[in-house]
Amino acid sequence: MLHRNNLLKVVVIGVVVGILALASGVNSVAAEQHIRITAVLKTLANPFWVAMASGLLEEAINQGVVVEILAVPTEEEVEAQLNLCETSVLRKPDVMLVSPITSRNLLPCLREVARQGIPIVDLDGNLPLDFAKGTVLGEEDIPIKSQIASNNTQAGEIAADYMIQQIGTTGKVLVIQGLSGNITGMQRAEGFINRLKAKAPGIQVIGPFAGDWDRLKAATITADVLTAHPDLRGIYCANDTMALGAVEAVIAAGKGGQVVVIGTDGIKDARDAIMEGRLSATVAQLPYLMGVMAVQTAVKIMRGEAVPLRQDVPLLLLTKQVLEAGVDPLLKYIR
Amino acid sequence: MKEQAEERAMESRGSLIFMEDIWKRFGAVEALRGVDFEVMHGEVVGLVGDNGAGKSTLMKILTGVYAPDRGRIYVEGKLVSFKSPEDSRRLGIEMIYQDLALARKQDVASNIFLGREPLRAYLGGLVKIIDRAKMREAAQRLLDQLRIRIDSVDQMVFTLSGGQQQAVAIARALSSTIQPKLIIMDEPTAALAVKEVEKVLQLIEQLKRQHISVIFISHRLPHIFQVCDRVVVLRGGKKVGDKPIHETNMDEVVKLIIGG
Amino acid sequence: MNKMFNTNKIKSLRLSSTAIIASIRRIKQRTRDLERYVGRLETLLALILLVVVISLLTPVFLTLQNQMNVLLHVSVIGIVAVGMTFVIIMAGIDLSVGSVLALASVIAASFLKLGVPGVVGILIGLGVGALCGLFNGLVIAKGKTPPFVATLGMMGIARGLALVIAEGRSIYGFPRDFLVLGQARIGGQLPLPALVFLLVAALGHFLLFHTRLGQYTLTIGDNEQAARVTGIPIDRIKLTVYMISGTLAALGGLIFASRLNAAEPTAGIGYELDAIAAVVIGGTSLFGGQGSILGTLIGVLLVGVLRNGLNLLAVSPYYQQVAIGLALIGAVLLDRFRGVRRER
């Protein structure tokens, strides 16, 4: 009995050590170890962030720098992300790229990062900026070197233009935004709604509802709204995951082909759905390009070069025609 | 006036418990039909009968869980009426259930003093802490009184044998500030090995030596015959037998239990 | 001559073997006694081993700054886990702690924005937690509802209310006297939340093993019938324990909000499971009747050190989840192998 216990303990410990040893090599790119970049992303559970991570890693290889990518398992773990950030500061990276889950949850850590003189880059625009002062809005002790993001408002506008093109200037349109309180989702939804108001005031907007970036939640919301408004003409979702959920609900309600569904992000599942004719369009962000730009920015910062405070990452409207034609230059950044 | 005379008559009987003409019905079922049941001081009475004969109903009435439809209960000659189990306990009647109602992952001392822990007050009575030292001592004393050997009162109850656990349950019955006069034991030897059964029977003898009466409910007639002074047989809600143990034998008792 | 020599040898062999058996039994008893207060010993051993291994793999781990960080990072979940320990010992469960954490922080934050002093805000937050706990306790004890269902309901109610009150956004910007709770450092180093956690754990330990509240909590979890038969006020104890859980969840939420200088209605999601994991890893039985606060403390530290180590080594978050899941299962399986009775 004693022997078996000891053996078991040794095996368990061996497994743990093994995992630690193996996994410590997993996330960093070993190249000439000059510049060390730490990227604190939201999560790796979403293809958007996985594409961004690829962009970061591959550009890091190109540039000969080291990038460590850290994230938390789900987009709700605000405290865990803060803890992660605080822990990684201790390793004294040269540059920090951050995508805070909420606009405020990383601030205590970023304050410390700034205090240590480490430059901060806002990835994907989750921090409200004071563009005059070059700091986080309301926090003068947290300077931001650059904010690299898609213009979320513009994304909503592009979707609105396409929606008007497809359904005309009257009808009902459902809007589903992201996690409650998240700036990205709110900006996309507002951009969409305001554009509709300006260009097609006859369109009735239902929502915006919070879909929490969740496929199932968006499906449920869509199903409920379709029941209340069977004459619904269009749906706009602040990300593709939710749009795909909405599509399922539309098909399940027997309205496949009668409702125009537009998503945002441009993930692979969405592109497949567009080719199959299930999803009408998506406003593709180019997270891979964002990652590339981020590493390039970090290198420029370390070289002492000036970088713009705001860098807009281009957006691309993906429809079946665009994908089939395959000529748009930005398509190479689609992952 | 009549009641006083009755009471005086009852007192002169000298019994500890006298349940007179007890009737109890549950809906369509008549559980007890005019049962008389008496226990003297320092007496061990065996209560036997088949399932449904009315043994547990009778005991539930005695311990204040039910009230009888008809009939009277006298404790040491005084007419009593139990409104709750607390009333019965206050008069020195303690019940030990078949599964002992012990908290098996807790230690012996805690189990014995469950609900009655000795306390020490601090901060002018605001904070009351369990006095474990006192509890351990008192627990050990009770177990010594019962002549039962346990390695340590800090042991978890699940580490004890069946007989030792029974002793803990009895010790709990004895730990009350009101010295119990009667302990009712429901199937105390049912699931025990032979050696453990002996221990339990010795415990009962020990209680008798301390002048505490015992009602011993059991299906195991050999055990009844080993330790009881008297045996009472119930069948179908009626008392069909009430004899001193040496005036009867197992065959007779079995016949009374089964009937016909 | 030969014969005598042999019998002596046999005698001495028999003596030494009985001595060995006796000392093994004594060691087993001592282990059991120690474990009664400290929880599963393997967890403590695993923690020590983990500390050693991680220190070897990354030198940053042992720095004072990182160690203080670890304590800070485990404070909130640790405080919640202390409350959860009581509930689980009582053979109950509280799935609402994460939501109550958020609701308490959001309500306190709202009042702080109206200008109340920090202390008042904290008291209001704690009051919210106590009320939620009271509600849980009433539904469970008086309403005779299974704890899983009752607290699952509260989980939804509290979360929904938090989102409604905060209108889905963070409430931020608190006065200095509130921020002290989450951001002060004793002696410039020890984070105040860590001190609060340790104090809560000490108080919890005291309550559990030295007061009637603790004894009755253990008894009810062990055998509720025994509690009933001995006249223990079962409903009152249940109400108190669930109120403790709610209040500690609220305390966690207040520390959370003051640390972030923001109250998020989405805070604490998943904390109930993290707390349960820490409690079980620490040696408390999910079946109730047995457990220890110190064990939970060790369980919380084990998970916290594991997370911190894997973060320092830049390991993917998914490996962290796998590791913690393995630790949880490993801990319970170890009980089986040792033949330790944690359940009936």
Q: Dump pLDDT digits (tens) for A147-175.
A: 999 899 999 999 999 999 999 999 999 99
Cβ distance A74 to C270 less than 8 Å, yes or no, reads yes
Q: Dump pLDDT digits (tens) for A40-55.
A: 999 988 788 898 999 9
Cβ distance C230 to B116 less than 8 Å, yes or no, reads yes
Q: Let me know whether A101 and A64 are in one domain.
A: yes
pLDDT given at position A1? 43
d(CA A125, CA C82): 38
d(CA C76, CA C40): 22
d(CA A135, CA A127): 10
Residue with tokens 């992300």: A81
d(CA A270, CA A280): 9
Q: Average pLDDT in the A132-139 region?
A: 91
d(CA C132, CA B253): 60
Touching chains A and C? (3+ Cβ pairs < 8 A): yes
pLDDT of A34 over the 90 cut? no
Cβ distance B114 to C212 less than 8 Å, yes or no, reads no
Give residue A225's identity as a one-letter amino acid code: V
d(CA C249, CA A79): 15
For C172, the closest chain A residue by CA position comes to A104
Please enumerate in sequence order all residues whose Cβ is within 8 A of that of B212, keeping only pairs 6 or more positions apart, or say none.
B42, B174, B180, B181, B182, B183
Q: Dump pLDDT digits (tens) for B18-60.
A: 999 999 999 999 999 999 999 999 999 999 999 888 999 999 9
Q: Let me know whether A262 and A181 are in one domain.
A: yes
Q: Let me know whether A161 and A279 are in one domain.
A: yes
Residue with the bigger pLDDT between B152 and C271: it is C271
For C231, the closest chain B residue by CA position comes to B115
- A212 three-state secondary structure: coil
For β-strands B15-26 and B127-130, DSSP reports them as unpaired
Q: Residue A11 domain-assigned?
A: no
d(CA C31, CA A212): 49
Q: Which of B114, B119, B154 lies nearest to residue C219, judging by beta carbons?
A: B114
Q: Are B240 and B35 in contact (CB under 8 A)?
A: no
Q: Dump pLDDT digits (tens) for A169-180.
A: 999 999 999 887
d(CA C277, CA C272): 9
pLDDT of A225 over the 80 cut? yes
- Name chain C contacts of B104, Cβ cutoff 8 Å: 222-223, 289, 344
Q: Average pLDDT in the B50-79 region?
A: 91
Beta bridge partners of A241: none
Q: Let me know whether A280 and A161 are in one domain.
A: yes
Chains in contact with A, counting 3 or more C-beta pairs less than 8 Å apart as contact: C
Suggest the residue from C313, C321, C322, C328 to mutate for an interface test with chain A (most A CBs closer than 10 A). C313
For β-strands A146-150 and A95-98, DSSP reports them as unpaired
- C31 close to B (CB below 8 A): no
Beta bridge partners of A263: A282
Q: Residue C219 domain-assigned?
A: yes
Q: Are C170 and A181 in contact (CB under 8 A)?
A: yes
For C74, the closest chain A residue by CA position comes to A83
Cβ distance C317 to A108 less than 8 Å, yes or no, reads no
Cβ distance A73 to C337 less than 8 Å, yes or no, reads no
Q: Average pLDDT in the A214-238 region?
A: 94
Q: Residue C2 domain-assigned?
A: no
Shortest distance, CA A288 to any CA of chain C (angstroms): 19
pLDDT given at position A29? 43
Q: Which of A24-28, A56-60, A203-207, A269-273 has the least mean pLDDT? A: A24-28
Q: Are B102 and B157 in contact (CB under 8 A)?
A: yes
pLDDT given at position A30? 44
Q: Residue A127 domain-assigned?
A: yes
Q: Average pLDDT in the A286-308 region?
A: 94
Helix ranges, chain A (H): 2-23, 47-63, 78-89, 107-115, 152-167, 183-199, 215-228, 240-252, 268-275, 287-302, 320-325
Q: Are C23 and C29 in contact (CB under 8 A)?
A: no
- Which ipTM value was assigned to this complex? 0.85
Q: What is the dihedral of CA B161, B162, B167, B171, to 10 degrees?
A: 100
d(CA A244, CA A261): 9
Q: Which of B97, B110, B130 lies nearest to residue C211, judging by beta carbons?
A: B130
pLDDT of A23 over the 80 cut? no
- A40 three-state secondary structure: strand
Q: What is the dihedral of CA C28, C34, C35, C36, to 10 degrees?
A: 110
What is the pLDDT confidence band of residue A2, given thresholds at 50, 70 and 90?
Answer: very low
d(CA C97, CA C247): 9
Please enumerate in sequence order all residues whose Cβ is within 8 A of that of A108, keeping only pairs 6 or more positions apart, or say none.
A82, A86, C183, C259, C260, C261
d(CA A291, CA A53): 7
pLDDT of A32 over the 50 cut? no
Residue with tokens 């945002």: A264
Q: Average pLDDT in the B106-129 region?
A: 91
Q: Residue A199 domain-assigned?
A: yes
d(CA C118, CA B139): 50
Q: Are A148 and A123 in contact (CB under 8 A)?
A: yes
Domain count for chain A:
2
- Name chain B contacts of C33, Cβ cutoff 8 Å: 154
Q: Residue C53 domain-assigned?
A: yes
d(CA C40, CA C340): 10
CATH number at residue C191: 1.10.3470
d(CA A68, CA A146): 19
Q: Residue C135 domain-assigned?
A: yes
Angle between helices C317-338 and C293-312 (to 10 degrees): 140
| Domain extent for C53 | 39-336
Shortest distance, CA C6 to any CA of chain B (angstroms): 34
Q: Let me know whether A206 and A268 are in one domain.
A: yes
- A176 three-state secondary structure: strand
pLDDT of A6 over the 60 cut? no
Residue C143 burial (C-beta neighbours within 10 Å; 0-12, 13-18, 19+): exposed
Residue with tokens 């409207």: A317
pLDDT given at position A31? 41
Cβ distance C73 to A70 less than 8 Å, yes or no, reads no
Domain count for chain C:
1
Q: Let me know whether A75 and A161 are in one domain.
A: no
CATH number at residue A200: 3.40.50.2300
Q: Residue A1 domain-assigned?
A: no
Q: Residue A7 domain-assigned?
A: no
- Name chain A contacts of C197, Cβ cutoff 8 Å: none
Shortest distance, CA B131 to any CA of chain C (angstroms): 8
Suggest the residue from C99, C163, C311, C336 to mutate for an interface test with chain A (most A CBs closer than 10 A). C311
Q: Are B197 and B229 in contact (CB under 8 A)?
A: no
- Name chain B contacts of C215, Cβ cutoff 8 Å: 106, 110, 114, 117, 130
- B119 close to C (CB below 8 A): yes
| Domain extent for A135 | 28-150+287-314
Suggest the residue from A17, A26, A85, A90 to mutate for an interface test with chain C (most C CBs closer than 10 A). A90
* Number of neighbours of residue C305 by Cβ within 10 angstroms: 21
Residue with the bigger pLDDT between C224 and B177: it is C224
Cβ distance C225 to B101 less than 8 Å, yes or no, reads yes
What is the pLDDT confidence band of residue A8, given thresholds at 50, 70 and 90?
Answer: low
Shortest distance, CA A266 to any CA of chain C (angstroms): 24
pLDDT given at position A70? 93
pLDDT of A7 over the 60 cut? no
Q: Let me know whether A126 and A187 are in one domain.
A: no
pLDDT given at position A122? 96
d(CA B162, CA B145): 19
pLDDT given at position B146? 87
pLDDT of A244 over the 90 cut? yes
Q: Residue C22 domain-assigned?
A: no
pLDDT given at position A28? 45
Taken in order B27, B32, B34, B37, is the CA torsion positive or negative? negative
How far lies B192's CA from each of A173, A267, B97, B216, C22, in Å?
A: 76, 69, 15, 15, 27
What is the pLDDT confidence band of residue B8, given thresholds at 50, 70 and 90?
Answer: low
pLDDT of B210 over the 80 cut? yes
Cβ distance A86 to C170 less than 8 Å, yes or no, reads no
* Number of neighbours of residue A9 by Cβ within 10 angstroms: 17
Cβ distance A20 to C315 less than 8 Å, yes or no, reads yes
- A256 three-state secondary structure: coil
* DSSP conformational letter for A261: E
Taken in order A195, A197, A203, A209, is the CA torsion positive or negative? positive
H or E stretch covering B217: strand B213-217
Q: Dump pLDDT digits (tens) for B219-236.
A: 999 999 999 999 999 999
Q: Residue A99 domain-assigned?
A: yes
* DSSP conformational letter for A314: P
Q: How far is CA A159 from the centre of its chain?
A: 17
Q: Let me know whether A46 and A108 are in one domain.
A: yes
DSSP letters of B147-198?
T---S-TTSBGGGS-HHHHHHHHHHHHHTSSS--SEEEEESTTTT--HHHHH
Shortest distance, CA C36 to any CA of chain A (angstroms): 20
pLDDT given at position B119? 93
Q: Average pLDDT in the B172-182 region?
A: 89
pLDDT of B2 over the 80 cut? no
Q: Let me know whether A175 and A222 are in one domain.
A: yes
Q: Residue C133 domain-assigned?
A: yes
Q: Are B20 and B58 in contact (CB under 8 A)?
A: no
pLDDT of B7 over the 90 cut? no
d(CA A94, CA A89): 10
**Strand ranges for B41-153 from DSSP E:** 44-48, 70-75, 78-80, 93-96, 119-122, 127-130
Q: Residue C312 domain-assigned?
A: yes
Q: Which of C236, C240, C230 is nearest to C208 (CA)?
A: C240
Cβ distance A102 to C57 less than 8 Å, yes or no, reads no
Q: Let me know whether A165 and A275 are in one domain.
A: yes
d(CA A32, CA C15): 68
Q: Residue A32 domain-assigned?
A: yes
Report the alpha-carbon angle A315-A321-A324, nearest 5.
Answer: 100
Cβ distance B104 to C222 less than 8 Å, yes or no, reads yes
- Name chain B contacts of C231, Cβ cutoff 8 Å: 86, 115
Q: Which of C280, C271, C268 is nearest to C343 (CA)?
A: C280
Share of chain B above pLDDT 90, in %: 67
Cβ distance C314 to A69 less than 8 Å, yes or no, reads yes
Enter the pTM of the model. Answer: 0.85
pLDDT given at position A3? 47
Average per-residue pLDDT for chain B: 90
Shortest distance, CA C83 to any CA of chain A (angstroms): 19
Q: Let me know whether A297 and A230 are in one domain.
A: no
pLDDT given at position C9? 72
Q: Let me know whether A57 and A93 are in one domain.
A: yes
Sites in chain C below the pLDDT cut of 70: 1-6, 12, 339-344
Give residue C158's identity as a one-letter amino acid code: A
Q: Residue C27 domain-assigned?
A: no
Q: Dump pLDDT digits (tens) for A253-279.
A: 999 889 999 999 888 899 999 999 999
d(CA B170, CA B142): 9
Helix (H) and strand (E) counts for chain C?
14, 4
Beta bridge partners of B233: B48, B241
Biggest alpha carbon–alpha carbon distance for chain C? 98
- Name chain A contacts of C314, Cβ cutoff 8 Å: 24, 26-28, 68-70, 88
